[in-house]
Amino acid sequence: MLDTRGYACPEPVIMTKGLVDKGEKKIEVLVDTTVAKENVSRFLISNGYKVTVSENDDEFTISAMK
């Protein structure tokens, strides 16, 4: 799981891009802002991943599969 809590956008997207560039088929990203949730989700969808998001308190887990 990629933990991007504490990073401001666009850093979570850049960190996620590193996994996409490696060809990862299953990606999980932990974020702590709504903006990061939306941006990372949008990025993954635009790269052909199916995305689901779960919320736990003020954190979001983005699960993506290709």
Tokens standing for residue 35 = 């903006």
Average pLDDT (25-32) is 98
* φ, ψ for residue 32, nearest 5 deg: -125, 15
Note the pLDDT of residue 60.
98
Which pTM was predicted? 0.96
Kindly report the number of other CB atoms within 10 A of residue 60's CB atom. 21
What one-letter code names the amino acid at 35? Answer: V
Note the pLDDT of residue 31.
98
What CATH number should be reported for the domain holding residue 58?
Answer: 3.30.110.40
Q: How confident is the model at residue 25 (pLDDT cuts 50, 70, 90)?
A: very high
Domain count, the chain: 1
Measure the CA–CA gap between 30 and 34, rounded to whole angstroms: 11
Note the pLDDT of residue 17.
98
Domain of 51? 2-65
Q: How confident is the model at residue 7 (pLDDT cuts 50, 70, 90)?
A: very high
